[in-house]
A and B are shown apart, each in its own frame.
Chain A
């Protein structure tokens, strides 16, 4: 691209190529069910199959959402605008550097992906999703299939309701299974 930002090594905010409404609809199609759980297990059992599947996921989601393959998809809670395309990879909303017109502070020619996420969520009637507390990203999952993780139930606990009263929201996912 000619008018490239100062650096291209940083993630770049990406405007999704799918309408939010359509994306929410698609999500219903991939919701976990016995067949998908079976498929996910097969994909993990057969590495070559798994690699092909993951490559397919990468290509599609890269094209549509600018997916960075974090392996723990936040899209259903962000109006299907990918927060990992934020140069700071913020999972909990926009930073304080958004320009008055809603542009990214690092890539001023791009719209802040969280501004896009906010607008899409609101429009789809899912604005409250942005109030969820998103837990820290597990960096070990980078490059893995988030669909497989989702079907295997590993995405449970990616976020938690931002209740402030007792009990306060727990940062770690499973207090019982916490390492001692």
Chain B
């Protein structure tokens, strides 16, 4: 088995049979603090938009998600974005949602990702087209997020949903998402438990702004024995303006910004909101790191990828040694 992220320039080379064991898998297995981030592909065919973001993150993260038409808006495909990101030195995590594909297309893309050596996949239900740029589109949702996670595990175990055997099964690490803050509060840990039973090995959470509530959710996961079987990465991101704060609170479903955060950002002069937001983000990383069971952070800094190294450095999380050059063994 070869090392993690292949060096730049190897995009598309299927090293290893299918889904090369990656740096993220090794990082999680080693028990050290894990950092992932997010790369949002552009709404056009410009590869440079991905490459630029990936270069900034390279060496600072264990892996970066490439989103799948985030917000139900058309973007360059996640699979293509993963290949581009890897070529730019970042180990990719292919996000895949149930919104646009039926079970045939989902399995097909999962197999394709493995054949291209994408080492990690992240399965989720996906936003409803209502919120996107093509609200008239057919919402597919042939499977749900739990079933898609289960499908990935089934493929890796060597079979399709139909039960047909695979001669060369994929080998990626399987991830998923969960929102600890959405109702019903006392069901959210159990919902993740279902995904873990279905095959999830790591989970990235929705933005954590309410650390106390997050800690309570983590305690529940601990009681269910989930934190031992699934690496929890806390979703963190900077709020850099009052406008963004407003959008997060009112326009993006599922994000919970508690009042004390709102007060804090409103309490500083307008030209200092960005700094305060970043400071808050740094503090949140430090706080979640103290919570038992948290294995790392997932940084969502849309349009602010360049700020990720600074945020990590201030939070006391150093660079990821050797990642970009793929020297580190599993």
* A161 closest partner in B (C-beta): B197
Given contacts A94-B182, A179-B164, contact A136 B125 (CB under 8 A): no
Q: Is B227's beta carbon under 8 Å from chain A? A: no
Name the contact of B139 in the complex, choosing from A88, A105, A175 (C-beta under 8 A). A88
Contact present for A88 and B184 (CB under 8 Å): no
Given contacts A93-B194, A106-B128, contact A172 B146 (CB under 8 A): no
Tell me which residues across on chain A come within 8 A of B254, comparing CB atoms.
95-98, 105
Contact present for A6 and B125 (CB under 8 Å): no
- Digit string of B164-192 for contact with A (CB within 8 Å is 1, else 0)? 11000000000001110111100100110
Assembled-state Cα–Cα distance A90/B149 (Å): 13
Q: Is A12's beta carbon under 8 Å from chain B? A: no
Assembled-state Cα–Cα distance A113/B69 (Å): 26
Assembled-state Cα–Cα distance A98/B187 (Å): 12
Interface residues of B in 122-156 (CB under 8 A from A): 125, 127-128, 130-131, 135, 139, 141-147, 150-151, 153-154
Assembled-state Cα–Cα distance A88/B256 (Å): 21
* A102 closest partner in B (C-beta): B183
Tell me which residues across on chain B come within 8 A of A149, comparing CB atoms.
none
Q: Is A32's beta carbon under 8 Å from chain B? A: no
Contact present for B103 and A179 (CB under 8 Å): no
By DSSP majority rule, is chain A's interface helix, strand, loop, or mixed?
A: loop
Tell me which residues across on chain A come within 8 A of B26, comparing CB atoms.
none
A108 CB, nearest partner CB in chain B, Å:
9
- Digit string of B191-202 for contact with A (CB within 8 Å is 1, else 0)? 101101111000
Q: Is A155's beta carbon under 8 Å from chain B? A: no
Q: Is B253's beta carbon under 8 Å from chain A? A: yes
* B179 closest partner in A (C-beta): A96
Tell me which residues across on chain B come within 8 A of A178, comparing CB atoms.
159, 162-164
Tell me which residues across on chain A come within 8 A of B182, comparing CB atoms.
94-98, 100
Q: Is A28's beta carbon under 8 Å from chain B? A: no
B192 CB, nearest partner CB in chain A, Å:
10
Assembled-state Cα–Cα distance A89/B98 (Å): 11
Q: Give A contacts to B, CB under 8 Å.
A: 6-7, 10, 87-102, 105-106, 112, 114-115, 118-119, 130-131, 133-137, 139, 162-164, 168-172, 174-175, 177-180
Q: Which 8 A-B pairs have the closest CB atoms?
A: A178-B163, A96-B179, A97-B253, A92-B146, A105-B253, A162-B197, A172-B163, A164-B197
**Could you give 24 example pairs across A and B, Cβ below 8 Å?**
A88-B125, A90-B145, A91-B144, A93-B187, A93-B194, A95-B145, A96-B177, A97-B253, A98-B253, A99-B253, A114-B184, A115-B183, A134-B144, A136-B103, A136-B142, A136-B161, A139-B142, A168-B157, A168-B199, A169-B197, A170-B154, A172-B161, A172-B162, A180-B165
